Amino acid sequence: MKKISLVAFLGNYGREYENTRHNVAWLFEKSLSYSGKLNWQSKFKGQFCKIDRNLLVGENQLKDDLIGESVYFLKPETYMNLSGESIIALMQFFKIKADEVLVVHDELELPCGTVSLKWSGGLGGHNGLRSTKENLGTADFWRLRFGIGRPDHKDIAGYVLSNFTSDEKIILSQIFPQTEKLMNDLFAKNPDNLLNSWKKKNLAPST
């Protein structure tokens, strides 16, 4: 059975990047209902923690071969363009395969409020994904993409390193809880079964 064993939340380390669009994955992790209970440790060029899978989703929801297994969370502190160095270090230590990895990241090609589950494919010019592919030797890993939209100017670097607007922060606060439910489903099920329903899902409330 396919499974997710490692969730890598991509972002840039440092207070000046804390609330930027490039750090939406770290903002999502902080929003998790159990975030404050996670026991983070410094290793693998970042912060990581280990969680019992059944505590995340409930043992009665797990397939038999997943009961008792752990899930690892990782926040690389290498800066975005070297994220793969942190990811591969943890994978090698805990013997995790590339197809068990879920990378959470920002996505320019999707509007704010849209969340997308994706398997393999292109990198969309994302430096964190590029580094992950280079270090893993394959693009065959899972991605959980948070739309941040494209700016109406050419300064992409400045855009992704700028803070979310007040309206965008409201949208994120509304879609994060729904995305947490998706991630819990990913821990309990074969992720293939969720691809179609979460290919590109607009979670932002209609106005």
Active-site residues, by number, are: 22
DSSP letter string, the chain: -----EEEE----SGGGTTBGGGHHHHHHHHSTTGGG---EEETTEEEEEEEHHHHH-GGGS-GGGTT-EEEEEEE-S-GGGHHHHHHHHHHHHT--GGGEEEEEEETTS-TTEEEEEES---TT-HHHHHHHHHHT-S-SEEEEEE----SSS-HHHHHTSBPPHHHHHHHHHHHHHHHHHHHHHHHS-GGGGTTTTSSEE-SPP-
